[in-house]
Each structure stands twice: as C-alpha cells, then as structure tokens.
Structure 1
Amino acid sequence: MIDRAGLAAFLRHRRAALQPEDVGLPRGQRRRVEGLRREEMAALCHMSTDYYARLERGRGPQPSEQMMAAIALGLHLGLTERDHLFRLAGHLPPVRGASREEYIAPGLLRILDRLDDTPAEIVTELGETLRQTRMGVALTGDLTSFRGPARSMGYRWFTDPSTRDRYAPDDHDQLSRVFASGLREIVAKRGTRSQAERLAGLLLKESELFRKYWDLQEVGVRPSKGKRFLHPEVGLLELECQTLLDPDESHTLLVYTAEPGGDSYEKLQLLSIIAGSLP
C-alpha cells in the first residue's frame, strides 16, 4: 500500500538535498529555494511539473514502477534509497541484478552531469545508452529514445545502415569485428538465457552482415581510443574516447574529446551551438 505522506516527505527532502551543480544546472543569482526547484526536478525525472508537484503534496494516483525508476534516477538515489522509494510508493523494489541496466550509480551520474560542455554518455555492456549530455545528443543524436533490441548499438549497427553512416567508412570493418566479438564474450559470460543470448539470436536471424562477423569466432577485439564520426552538419570529427567503468553495474562512461587547436576541436565548438538549442 502506498504511503503518500511518507513518499511526499521523502521526495521533498531529497530534492532539497540536491544542488543545481550536482545535476549540471547553473545556480544563478536569484535562486531562493533550498536545493532544486520542482520544475527542475520534474525535468530530470522526465515528467510534468504538475504531476511531480502532486506527488510531493501526497496527492494523485499511485505512481507506476516505471515512474519510480525515473524518479530514482532523477534524484541520484543509491540502491538502498531507491528500494525505500519503491516501498513508499507501494511497490516491491526491483530485484537487484534483474534490471541492472536501468540503474546508474549516483557517482557516475554526478560525473556525467558535470560534463555538459563535452560529448559523453553512459552505456550498458550491450551498448544501450542510458544517459547523454546535450553535447552527446548533438554529436550522435538522442540514443536514449530507442526501444526493444534497437536500444543496443550493436543491434543498430548490423540492422540499420544509417547507424553505420555516422562513422567513417574505413572504420566499418573494425567496428563490426568489435561489436560481434564483444557480444560473443558477453553471451559466454551471462549464459544461454541472458539478454545477450537473445540479442545474438535476433541478429543471426535478421542480419547477414552480423552472421559474417559472428562466424569469425573472434573474441578480445577491442575498440581503439580514436573515434571518427561523420556528422551531418559539421562533417568529420576525429575524437578520442576516454572510458570510466563501473564494474558493479557493468556500465561505462564514454567521454569524447578533441585535441585543442585542431579542426575537430573547432567543430566541437560548432556542435556546442547545436547543443545549446536542445531542450
């Protein structure tokens, strides 16, 4: 049963504890509230301000499990806090390990939120983008909008030619080897009933290109630090990819940078203008 008063109090307290700089927002000079504003919190949780405000006032319908998961991410909750939030809302907490790809460690989120002027994203071991900076969206498009198997970069790579069009043609063979090799390793690690196994089965049915590289039986093929993106507006960008791994959740933070003074560095400055127009 939902504890409306307890849920409302918890949400208000956690919102007040978050500072704008914790989530990549400017503080500004006229801020009068402690912590984040309700409209800022609602935006982080991908819901309307009215709906979020009703939750903080102990009103409205019982929020869904999906809504609670979104709020937990928006509030940067740890696992114990997330489980408490679910119980207050009248739901059983997610089984730890069953939906790990949806949970992002607060520390990793805090780092991402401080990279608003840099293309960056958090991805799962299957290449599913969970969060992007605005510069990341400007570089590659909104990769969090995909659903089903298309959430995986590897699946899109082998089934959607437009995905490959975003990368320099000379790199396609190496990237195909990387994606097929990586998926083979994850299948062996996670087992025959895993999401990775289901994804490999789909690709074997749907993609002749995937079958070609899967049949190579390669493992251990690693991506290079250098990434060459073909952007529809600014052209070729040669970037370096730095990674930070969260081993507990099998998530990776990818950060893309360019050598200062170079052509790609100048193009990133142009991308920042595009990013500034994004919601």
Structure 2
Amino acid sequence: MGLQLPERTAPAPRRGRRVGLAVLLGVALVVLAGCGTDTELERLAMPDPVTVEGESTLALWQGAWIAALLTGGFVWGLIFYVIFRYRRRHADEVPVQTRYNLPLEIFYTIFPIIMVIVFFDHTIKTQNIVLNDEDVPVQNTVVVVGQQWSWTFNYPEAVDGEDGQPVNVFESGTGNNIPKLVIPVDTTTRFELRSPDVIHDFGVPGFLIKMDVMPGQDNHFQVTPKKTGTYAGKCYELCGVYHSRMLFTVDVVTQEEYEAYLQGQYDADFYSDDPVCGGSFANTQVGLDTEENGEVCQ
C-alpha cells in the first residue's frame, strides 16, 4: 500500500483573508450600485430629487451610506479573520486572556472621532448649500401658512389689480379641499413659512428638505425646481386631531403656465392686499393674529 498523505487544507490566515475579501467584494457591489441616481436602489431609498438643492442632499446621503458600508465591511472582515485565525484548535486549549495591542486600541478609539468630524463637516457644507439665500438670487416668493388643519399659499404682489397696484393672490385649503401650490420651473422660489396656531412642518419628499412652521418664528428656505411635474406634500409635525388632513400638491410648471395660474386666481377673486393668514376653517391661537402682535403673515 502506498503512503496516504493527510488531506491538505488551506491555512487559517488564508481562509480568513478569503472571507474578508468576499465581504469587501459584496460591499463594493453595493457601493457601485449607489453611484447612480436613476433607481431607488441607486439612490439608497432616497426620493428622486426634483430641485437643484436636493442633489446636494442626495450626495450627502449616498456618501454617508458608502462610508458606513465600507467601514462595516472592513470591521466584519476583521471579525471573521480573527474568528478563523485565532480559533481554538484543541479541546483543552484556553486562549490567552491578557493579550492586548496598544496601537490598535488607539486606532479604533481615534478613528471613530475622525469619522464623526468628517461627517459633521460634510453635513454643515451641505446645509450651507441647501439653505444658501445670499449668493442665490430669489426670483419668486410664496408665503406658506400652515393652519389647523390645512395650508394657505400666498403669492405677494403677483398680479396687478384694477388700479395698477400689485396685489396678493392666494389659494387656501380646507378639510374638504386639498390646496395646490404652483411654482415655476428653473426659477428659485423662496418659501416664507408662517403659522397662526401651532407648530406645523412643511415638506415635499421630492425637494429633499422640510422645515418647521412655527408661531412667532419666521422660517424660510428656497428651492430651484429642475423639471416640471406634480408632487405630493404634507405636514410632518403632529399638529392636532386632523393632522392627517394637512396634505397639498405641488405643480411645477413653465413660466407661462405659472403666470396664467396667478391671473386665473385673480380672476376668480382669490386676491387680497396682504397675505391671507388662514382659510375660513383656520383655528388661530388667541393673541397671535391681533394687531398688537402684528399680522402673522407679514
């Protein structure tokens, strides 16, 4: 009989490297899938941005996920490597319990701090881009009023009245009527956010931004839509019993269609000298809509 050689197996370190390589390969595939923006998978579950500002938010979201996946893949690779490399090889073997690696411990203490600083820096930069109202000229203004429980959209000085003076046109929703917000494409629109009662939150998923609408607090932000279409919006703050009714739609239209809409609102007698502070069903909190406190919509 010939000499029977024992079956050869790959050394433990090599198997550990293979496992780590497989993990990193899987993470790389996910990262490559996240480099585009055409599908929800490529956007990593983020809505398709319909504004110029939303592209920066999407880039921050994808970058954060890519960094997290790479970090997670690297950590999981190390875990599996250690499991295979330093596993117990004999039943009576007890691994050394006092071994440590000072440089490694310093690394995994300092590196997370560096990651937090980098994430914070990119978040601040994106916030400055999205909320930049100094370098980007505002071409259009809409005064958004959130009231219990619907929305009023004012377009100050949008149409010339019979006396030739510009007037405010508006659309106000009720519990039975979902209001419509209309803004022009390729135009920077500034939203002035006002509330006569409680805290609401104005948001459109496609804009990739939302902001609180607070009594006594004049919040604002601006967007530049890059394509026409109809989008859904709602209140993101639990504001009362009928919070679920605080829905609205957004129509992004051409400049000609936008001007026609404003004129149509004027012809339908939906106009006033000043922005309207709420619809006929609005419950205003006592004291916030009096002359002593000033007009809340100004």
In terms of fraction of residues, the more helix-rich structure is 1
Q: Same fold (TM over 0.5)?
A: no
Relative to its length, the structure with more strand (as a share) is 2
TM-score, length of structure 1 as denominator length: 0.22
The answer to which structure, 1 or 2, has the higher relative contact order (CA under 8 A, 6+ apart) is 2
Considering only CA atoms, is the larger Rg found in Structure 1 or Structure 2? Answer: 2
